[in-house]
């Protein structure tokens, strides 16, 4: 991933998210930090994950202005800007509206360690942003979401979607696919499902970084070469 340009990284990530079933028409976006410190690269607006091309990726300044590229700017760009401003360790942010994650978040139930996937996020229970289920379209809401995320790698936004982050875009995308599967399993298992012990779940967590990298490498191979 590191040998790809920011535009290539974002196009690949969008294709993977589309194949993984996280597309929601033209909504949802991914970003990577600009390595020259100018801001971040963001998928352009009004395009599906299956449509976006390298020319549709824009560079945003830390003030949120488009300083490179001609595509539109997603109104929820403060999600990306404020998380990266607050978390120097985060180089990539994914925001999607995945089916099972949105359904699970609406139940209000804690996310339990019911599968390998869930152990990337819990225990303790996953963060939930409860200030609004509407769009995150202001710097203030973006900052509030970043505070809610804290030092974690994911946050559920009930009635809206998810945000995952990573030290690179591959890990952030892999976290999004794992969170969606964890939420699907939680819904299938239902109330009263028995989780792993905290000790076992946290032992699994120790392998998280390597596991997310392996998952991304696999996911990237699922993208047909003609599309990427
Ligand atoms: Zn959204």
Task: Show the domain range for 141.
Answer: 6-221
Averaged pLDDT, 99-105: 98
pLDDT higher than 80, residue 142: yes
Q: Are 176 and 164 in contact (CB under 8 A)?
A: yes
Helix axes 208-221, 169-189, angle to 10 degrees: 100
Strand duo 57-61 + 127-128: pairing: unpaired
For residue 226, pLDDT over 90 is answered with: no
What is the CA(111)–ligand 1 centre distance, in A? 21
Query: pTM to 2 decimals?
Result: 0.96
CA of 162 to the centre of ligand 1 (A): 8
In a domain, 161, yes or no: yes
Cα–Cα distance for residue pair 8/200, rounded to 1 Å: 38
For residue 1, being part of any structural domain is answered with no
Cα(157) to ligand 1 centroid in Å equals 9
Q: Measure the CA angle with vertex 211, ends 207 and 216; round to 5°.
A: 160
Q: Which of 16, 228, 63, 127 is closest to 30 using CA atoms?
A: 16
Q: How confident is the model at residue 193 (pLDDT cuts 50, 70, 90)?
A: very high
Residue 50 lies in a domain: yes
Does the pLDDT of residue 228 top 50, yes or no?
no
Question: pLDDT-based confidence at 2, cuts 50/70/90?
Answer: low
- Check residue 224 and give its pLDDT: 82
Q: Residue 172 falls within a domain, yes or no?
A: yes
- Predicted confidence at residue 126, as pLDDT, reads 98
Ligand 1 centroid–CA 152 distance in Å is 19
Number of domains in the chain: 1
Is 77 within the bounds of a domain? Answer: yes
pLDDT at 178 over 80: yes
Ligand 1 centroid to Cα of residue 89, in Å, is 23
- Evaluate whether residue 205 is within a structural domain: yes
Closest by CA to 155, choosing from 191, 130, 137, 186, is 130
The verdict on residue 18 lying in a domain is yes
Q: How far is the CA of 225 from the centre of ligand 1 (A)?
A: 28
Kindly report the CATH number assigned to the domain that includes residue 107.
3.40.225.10
């Amino acid at each position: 991933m590191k040998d790809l340009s920011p535009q290539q990284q974002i196009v690949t990530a969008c294709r993977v998210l589309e194949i993984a079933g996280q597309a929601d028409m033209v909504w949802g976006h991914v970003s990577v930090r600009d390595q020259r410190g100018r801001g971040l690269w963001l998928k352009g607006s009004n395009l599906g994950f299956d449509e976006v091309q390298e020319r549709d990726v824009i560079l945003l300044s830390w003030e949120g202005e488009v300083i490179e590229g001609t595509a539109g700017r997603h109104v929820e760009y403060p999600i990306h800007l404020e998380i990266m401003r607050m978390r120097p360790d985060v180089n990539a942010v994914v925001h999607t509206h995945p089916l099972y994650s949105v359904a699970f978040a609406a139940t209000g139930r804690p996310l339990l360690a019911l599968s390998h996937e869930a152990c990337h996020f819990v225990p303790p229970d996953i963060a939930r942003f409860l200030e609004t289920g509407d769009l995150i379209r202001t710097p203030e809401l973006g900052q509030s979401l970043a505070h809610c995320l804290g030092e974690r790698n994911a946050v559920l936004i009930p009635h809206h979607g998810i945000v995952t982050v990573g030290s690179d875009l591959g890990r952030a995308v892999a976290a999004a696919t794992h969170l969606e599967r964890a939420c699907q399993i939680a819904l299938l298992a239902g109330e009263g499902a028995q989780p792993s012990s905290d000790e076992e779940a946290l032992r699994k967590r120790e392998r998280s970084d390597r596991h997310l990298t392996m998952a991304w490498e696999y996911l990237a191979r699922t993208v047909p070469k003609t599309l990427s």
